[in-house]
Structure 1
Amino acid sequence: MTEHPTQYPTALGASSRETITLLGHDLAHDVMGSVGFGELAFWLATQRRPDQGEVRVFEAVLAALADHGFTPTAIVTRLTWLSAPDSVQGALAAGLLGGGSRFLGVTEDCGRFLHDVVAALDELPADEVGWDAVALDVVRRRREAGAFVPGLGHHVHKDGDPRTPRLFEIAREEGRFGPHLALFEAIGRVHPEVLGRTLPLNGAGVCGAALADLDLPLELLRGFALLARTAGLIGQLAEELRHPVANDIFLSVDLNNRPVDPDPLPRSTEPRTT
């Protein structure tokens, strides 16, 4: 009796000798040329086909996060390409690996933060007054704990991040302005009362709120930010091919280093064990 090999079921891509199926559809005939990449990315993550309103909000998020100029992720991508021009995958990976708590990771951090607050509510507020009360309590508790509010503040757009009101607008137009965006907007209104100063709601944060309102998996929010940034990093490499600056960046550091005396770390006073 011949034993059958172990089965690995998947609703994603599967191939036979004649066809490729994806999400239950024929890839060549039903998907290619008919489904946009943003729609497909959403579909792959949720295994349900999004409606046009969801696609518009999702693709607005991708556009908002794609490229922000000479950020650390862009610089390291260009420098890695300078060092290893035969490895485009290495250059892209180098940039993506820098997606953390200061760049790109804020999208996930903010989405999770807002979700935790919303999930703990007995019922959702019915109006801005109710959301303001929730936001005021949340900001006060973060302040008392000595913690930052994710998505609040920006190192460049100190008078307001232009992406934020636009994403609010698009979500409202498409009927996708849910509790996460409502709470985030309320934080923007009330935080000066607690912090004594006005900070902008940043684009990475509003993207996290919008993705959470689309019911996308919280564990994947940073992945969507990295998906967007991949397009931006490809653009950075394409521009590096036409107008290279990586070598100038490298030389600006290498030719301007200054020798100083060693600054050794203090030794531990704890006894060493064997």
Structure 2
Amino acid sequence: MTDRVYETALGSSTKDKITLLGQDLAEDVMGTVGFGELAFWLATQRRPSTGETRVFEAVLAALADHGFTPTAIVTRLTYLSAPDSVQGALAAGLLGGGSRFLGVTEDCGRFLHDVLATAETPTDEAGWDALALDTVEKTKAAKKFVPGLGHHVHKDGDPRTRRLFEIADEEGLRGPHLELFAAIGRVHPRVLGKTLPLNGAGVCGAALADLGLPLELLRGFALLARTAGLVGQLAEELRHPVANDVFLSVDLNNRPVPPDPQR
């Protein structure tokens, strides 16, 4: 045992009461605070405004589920292999949240933040376009890619991007990260010689950064959203299973070939 006292503003219990964020959980939170609002509150330890909650929950909705992505497929296959381990199936899907799927949210938020940290904040669209142009040029010169630029399906525009900008504008929450991201969307064809859409994962990262959420946790919010989607994937797998077909499509259609040693 130790005499040390561990302080926390999160959950704490006594014999007859549970407190959370300084509130009585049973009386002040349950049935009163929505899950999205609570998730924001837990991460920032400040209660979000109605507008902040709306933008945050729009981000969660945008990232929840995108169909048969690798994260969804591995969740279904893991459940097929171990139906006694729902937690394992969900964990398998979440572990696939990386640079190609879900991680773009964090990558874009960090990218925009790094640019803004060393630049003077523009005051008009021309200023934002100039900053964006310089940013894209430097990124191309470094032989890197702008996170959040381009989409393998929505070649002519990601519908989530337009809607999230609209919601942020309606709530007066279009901040510098969204401004810079929008400007990148306007100017990048001058540098790249082609027009790419601003994808939904990227705009989500910009919106979360504008809400003041910790950059280190941006991927965590994407994973929070995707957890709901993966639960939905498992629920659909129970009703209309496809995992065994996916497994058999590979298992019954492979053929042996000679080893191909690395050179």
Match of 2:42 in 1: 44
**Partner residue of 2:200 out of 199, 203, 207:** 203
| 1:128 match | 125
2-structure distance, mates of 1:194, 1:259: 46
- Partner-residue secondary structure (3-state), 2:19: strand
Of 153, 156, 160, the match for 1:156: 153
Cα offset, 1:124, TM superposition: 1.1
User: Considering only aligned residues, what root-mean-square deviation do their CA atoms show, in Å?
Assistant: 0.9
The superposition leaves residues 94-151 of structure 1 with CA deviations (integer Å, 9 ceiling, x where unpaired) of 0000000000000000000000011111x31111110000000000011111100000
- Percent identity over the alignment? 82
CA change 1:162–1:7 in 2 (3 A) is same
The answer to whether structure 1 residue 232 and structure 2 residue 203 are counterparts is no
1: distance between equivalents of 2:225 and 2:205? 13
Tell me the secondary structure at the aligned position of residue 76 of structure 1. helix
Between the aligned partners of 2:61 and 2:50, the Cα distance in structure 1 is 16
Q: Secondary structure at the match of 1:141?
A: helix
1:217 paired residue among 203, 214, 218: 214
Residues 63-78 of structure 1: pairs in structure 2 closer than 5 A: 63-78=61-76
Q: Which residue of the partner structure matches residue 177 of structure 1?
A: 174
Instruction: Give matches, 1:242-261, under 5 Å.
Output: 242-261=239-258
2:54 — aligned with what?
Answer: 56
What is the identity, as a one-letter code, of the residue corresponding to 1:189?
Answer: R
Question: 1:270: which partner in 2?
Answer: none
1:1-16 correspondence to structure 2 within 5 Å: 5-16=3-14
Cα distance in structure 1, aligned partners of 2:213 and 2:249: 43
Q: Secondary structure at the match of 1:28?
A: helix
SS at match of 1:21: strand
The alpha-carbon deviation at position 263 of structure 1 amounts to 1.3
Greater Rg by CA? 1
Counterpart CA distance in 2 for 1:180 and 1:80 is 37
Partner AA of 1:9 in structure 2:
E
Structure 2: runs of 5+ lacking an equivalent: none
TM-score normalised according to structure 2 size: 0.99
Q: How many angstroms does 1:264 deviate by?
A: 2.1
SS at match of 1:193: helix
Alpha-carbon shift at residue 5 of structure 1 (Å): 2.1
Q: 2:240 and 2:3 mapped to 1: Cα distance? A: 53
Find the residue that maps to 2:97 and give its secondary structure.
coil
1:201-249 deviation line (CA, Å, top 9, x unaligned) = 0000000000000000000000000000000000000000000000000
TM-score, length basis structure 1: 0.95
Query: 2:4 and 2:79 mapped to 1: Cα distance?
Result: 42
The 1:199–1:4 alpha-carbon spacing in structure 2 relative to 1, beyond 3 Å, is: closer
Secondary structure of 2:4's aligned partner: coil
2-structure distance, mates of 1:170, 1:203:
13
The residue correspondences of 1:187-202 to structure 2 (distance < 5 A) are 187-202=184-199
TM-aligned CA deviation for residue 82 of structure 1: 0.2
In structure 2, the residue corresponding to 1:197 is in which secondary structure?
Answer: coil
Give the partner amino acid of 1:259.
P
Q: Distance in 1 between matches of 2:261 and 2:235?
A: 42
> Within the alignment, does 1:241 sit opposite 2:241 as a pair?
no
